[in-house]
Chain A
Amino acid sequence: DAKTTQPTSMDCAEGRAANLPCNHSTISGNEYVYWYRQIHSQGPQYIIHGLKNNETNEMASLIITEDRKSSTLILPHATLRDTAVYYCIVRVQGSARQLTFGSGTQLTVLP
């Protein structure tokens, strides 16, 4: 699976949009971009995934660049409960393989 690079930490004001970037310059054509988050002392929570089109669900939006070498997770109206470590993971879908977690981005939502 391709390697990803994320900033170590970010701050965001409550109520504002949180934009979390991820670089995956070596992504292959059949690899999807997944986002998970882990709130302190809990298991990771699935957020969203996509291949090349932008995706949106009730939690977030995923914007993938046209060359697919980077993506941005957008939390439109961050709340204090969104404070967590966010992981961007690249993986071949349908492979039934494990997820490989990097260091992620510690997002802190400030009141």
Chain B
Amino acid sequence: GAVVSQHPSWVICKSGTSVKIECRSLDFQATTMFWYRQFPKQSLMLMATSNEGSKATYEQGVEKDKFLINHASLTLSTLTVTSAHPEDSSFYICSATQNPGHSTDTQYFGPGTRLTVL
């Protein structure tokens, strides 16, 4: 299957700082990528849909000014958590769609990024 990478795999930062997480599709182009967040013992929750060359679409309750998404190329989307606070500590996971809009489209997920804000 297709491979999606994330960097870093884990990060610890101080409250008030910003953290950037990268999501890359390694062997396919992804016009659409998704960002999810997962708190302990909970399921994945969609945060936003990232579209190459256009603004991201955020889910209700997700602050677009706090979680900045940039999808500047067909293989890279970044999520920046600005002015991070301890409540932002979570497992952030991206996914990329291979062949979006086609009958064979399948989402592949990155390994996730564990963010801990002190």
Q: In whole angstroms, what is the CA distance A104 to B112 when docked? A: 18
Count residues on chain A whose CB falls below 8 Å from chain B CBs: 21
- Please classify how large the interface on chain B is, using the bins under 10, 10 to 19, 20 to 34, 35 or more: 20 to 34
Also in contact, A94 and B110, with CB within 8 A (given A44-B44, A101-B43, A102-B43): no
Q: Please tell me if the beta carbons of B100 and A96 are within 8 angstroms of each other in the complex.
A: yes
Q: Please tell me if the beta carbons of B110 and A43 are within 8 angstroms of each other in the complex.
A: yes
- Smallest Cβ distance from A90 to chain B, in angstroms? 14
Contacts A94-B102, A102-B43 known; 17 new A-B pairs at CB < 8 A: A41-B114, A43-B6, A43-B93, A43-B95, A44-B93, A46-B106, A49-B106, A87-B43, A93-B103, A95-B105, A96-B97, A98-B49, A98-B95, A100-B46, A101-B36, A101-B44, A101-B45
Hey, which bits of chain A sit against chain B, CB under 8 A? 36, 38, 41-46, 49, 87, 93-96, 98-104
